[in-house]
Amino acid sequence: MAKFPLLHSAVSIMTPLLLAATGGLFTELSGMLNIALEGMMLWGAFSSIVFTHYTGSLFLGVLLALLTTMLLAAIMGSATLYLRSNIFITGLATNLLASGLTVVLSYRMFGNKGVVVFKGIKELPYLKIPPLQSIPILGDLLIGHHLFVYLSWFLLLVALFLLYHTPFGLRLRSIGDNEEVLLSLGHQPNLYRMVAFLIAGAFCAFGGATLSLSLGAFVPNMTSGKGWIALVVIFLGQRRPLGLLLAAFVFGLADAFSNYAQGAFNIPAEFILAIPYVFTLLVMIGLSAFNSRRRGS
């Protein structure tokens, strides 16, 4: 048993947020506000558990979820970049499509528009990584999590490497700052943006898979605003990979606390559900107030 249960569960709860935010960092750095993280994560949640159910393999299930979510990202990317549609509207389209399609398919496949429980799905494997345990203080928080928690940290390192230590990352970041430079060097900014969309899709698929597979069930709109929170995680993390880790932990902690509050105090469930939205809003306001003050001085 963990010594600090609240902190320990925050580390686990932040995983989908961290994954979606890391994916969203790619689109964000290429200069696009991507509000479709929510929809891509929802599709990832649905497809991963459904494919795992039908293939009987966690690996195949997640792989197919990854590919189909990237397809969704590619549709949004094509509409945005090549048809030159407004990115907020194509983002909404992606969110509405995911939200509708998951319900329509769930009804078609399981005759049920509500919660679908998959009894045959095994629990996610819990990893034992002994070296982590020997880290003082933190060690206790880092052990005893399931596969996807460690995967999210590994993928964060991959993102860090891709963005800051490869020519691809350098060019991608330069589009966000100044598109002209890249054009003048003979690169196609839209190609880089498309790759950013695909990476965002892949990360969101992992994020969604974490939600449904750790629960063993699909709940309609189970992402419940997490894609939007992930956007704010990116801003709060100052658009840097390690900043994301800290920011995601803050939100994970808030979420863990509201879970705890639900049990400890007699607060109506609706208010508990509203906490993430309100907390995210307050962080967003505080952040913009801080930034505008800094710009002003």
Binding site for other proteins (CB under 8 A): 33, 35, 75-76, 79, 82-90, 92-94, 96-97, 99-101, 103-105, 107-108, 113, 225, 228, 231-232, 268, 270-271, 273-274, 277-278, 280-281, 284-285, 288-289, 291-292
In the bound state with other proteins, the residue whose beta carbon lies nearer, of 59 and 265, is 265
In the bound state with other proteins, the residue whose beta carbon lies nearer, of 81 and 256, is 81
- 18, 245 Cβ separation under 8 angstroms: yes
Region of residue 122 (left: phi > 0; alpha: psi -120 to 50; beta: else): beta
**For residues 108, 113, 118 and 123, what is the CA-based torsion angle, rounded to 10 degrees?**
130
Q: Which amino acid is at 132?
A: L
In the bound state with other proteins, the residue whose beta carbon lies nearer, of 156 and 232, is 232
Q: How far is the CB of 210 from other proteins (least distance, A)?
A: 21
Cα separation, 51 vs 81, in Å, equals 30
Cα separation, 19 vs 175, in Å, equals 23
In the bound state with other proteins, the residue whose beta carbon lies nearer, of 203 and 279, is 279
C-alpha separations of 180 from 167, 171, 174, 175 in Å: 17, 11, 9, 8
Cα separation, 70 vs 64, in Å, equals 10
In the bound state with other proteins, the residue whose beta carbon lies nearer, of 85 and 214, is 85
Q: How far is the CB of 288 from other proteins (least distance, A)?
A: 4
Cα separation, 230 vs 218, in Å, equals 20
Q: Which residues contact 45 (CB under 8 A, 6 or more apart)?
A: 208, 209, 211, 212, 218, 222, 223
φ, ψ for residue 165, nearest 5 deg: -130, 15
In the bound state with other proteins, the residue whose beta carbon lies nearer, of 30 and 280, is 280
In the bound state with other proteins, the residue whose beta carbon lies nearer, of 83 and 185, is 83
Q: How many CB atoms lie within 10 A of CB 58?
A: 18
User: Which among 268, 238, 269, 233 has a CA at the least distance from the CA of 253?
Assistant: 233
Q: How far is the CB of 256 from other proteins (least distance, A)?
A: 19
Q: How far is the CB of 71 from other proteins (least distance, A)?
A: 14
Q: DSSP characters for 188-231?
A: -HHHHHHHHHHHHHHHHHHHHHHHHHHHTEE-TTTTTTHHHHHH
φ, ψ for residue 4, nearest 5 deg: -120, 85
In the bound state with other proteins, the residue whose beta carbon lies nearer, of 214 and 224, is 224
